[in-house]
Amino acid sequence: MPPHLLEHLAASDNPSVAAAARRTLIADASARTARVLPRAAAAPVGAPAGPAAPRRTIHDAGHRTALPGAKVRDEGEEATPDATVNRAYAGLGATFALFRDAFGRDSMDGAGLPLIATVHYDENYGNAFWNGEQMVFGDGDGEVFLDFTLPVDVIGHELAHGFTQYTANLEYFSQSGALNESVSDVFGSLVKQHALGQTADQADWLIGQGLFHPDVEGTALRSMKAPGTAYDDDVLGKDPQPAHMDDYVRTSRDNGGVHINSGIPNHAFYLVATELGGHAWDRAGRIWYDVMTGGTLTPETRFSEFAAATVAAAKARYGDAAEIQAVTKAWAAVGVPTD
């Protein structure tokens, strides 16, 4: 959840909305600080013998903040009466399935990392996050945000921060931080598309669709197809994401605008995927995956360096074919040089 949204809500005339947003901002402070701190990727755990399969555990925080909370569902157990628990379980599975089926990766670390999640975190908590070890989901305030397990791409987005942690480990600040956020949006969107069996032209390319209360004037948190158009609401404000480097936002807030400027690489991926057609994970997703796992990025990678790496990855995998032309054309369309 971008902090600028919560800051808008904290100034709301609605006391309950403002109080929930302030509570969420306070609770987020430690999680966001932990993400900013430089951290080497953790050592992979040993993978289980046999075909790759998820190892999921869901806990219930009981509206408190102690993690992980009480265990309520383990891998292979039957669904519970709690729909939030079951959505979290299914979302972890959908994310695992994308990385296994599309890229041959065994969990976020590539070596069978157990997938742990906590639901019902805190009271009226309007966010979800990966804390370096597990997923955490709030229930929302019920007036602006609904349950954060509702959009499967939000689950995929946050788990993909774990994927980044174990691969390029992009620093969570400025352009590298915006790339960190964008990579999570890319793979979060692919999780949703893979789960629904959608092609690039069938996908809505929205992140967090279904998270807003019906009274909110907005469709999602972000749009990869049209950054800056996801919402325009009296309480939330207007979506500030740019789609082109001409509109890059220079700010000291939000760790240098990581949630805002991610719209630029997001749109580049959308353009590649729709230019190539078919399932976006087959070619566009494979190029982005190769970049993240190829060992050429540094934690401080900037947009132009990432763009150049996608061109190199496209050429290495596909040669001088449609894929490299689509990648080059997409980055040019968002104003990012590739050489």
| Closest-CA residue to 44 (of 102, 106, 130) | 106
Tell me the C-alpha distance between 198 and 121, whole Å.
32
Which of 124-136 are b and which e, b meaning 16 or more Cβ less than 10 Å from the residue's Cβ? Answer: bbbbbbbbeebbb
Tell me the C-alpha distance between 330 and 269, whole Å.
7
Alpha-carbon separation of residue 117 from 74, 110, 260 (angstroms): 11, 18, 27
14's CB contacts (< 8 A; 6+ apart) are 143, 235
Alpha-carbon separation of residue 60 from 70, 72, 140, 238 (angstroms): 5, 6, 15, 34
User: Which tokens in the block code for residue 249?
Assistant: 């936002």
From the list 59, 120, 158, 279, the catalytic residue is 158
From the list 8, 59, 161, 259, the catalytic residue is 259
Tell me the C-alpha distance between 328 and 339, whole Å.
10
Q: Which residue has the tokens 């901002």?
A: 25
User: Which tokens in the block code for residue 231?
Assistant: 């919402």
259 is catalytic: yes
Tell me the C-alpha distance between 20 and 203, whole Å.
32
323 is catalytic: no
| Closest-CA residue to 263 (of 202, 329, 186) | 186
Tell me the C-alpha distance between 315 and 278, whole Å.
19
The number of beta carbons lying within 10 Å of the beta carbon of residue 52 is: 18
> Which active-site residues does the annotation give?
158, 259
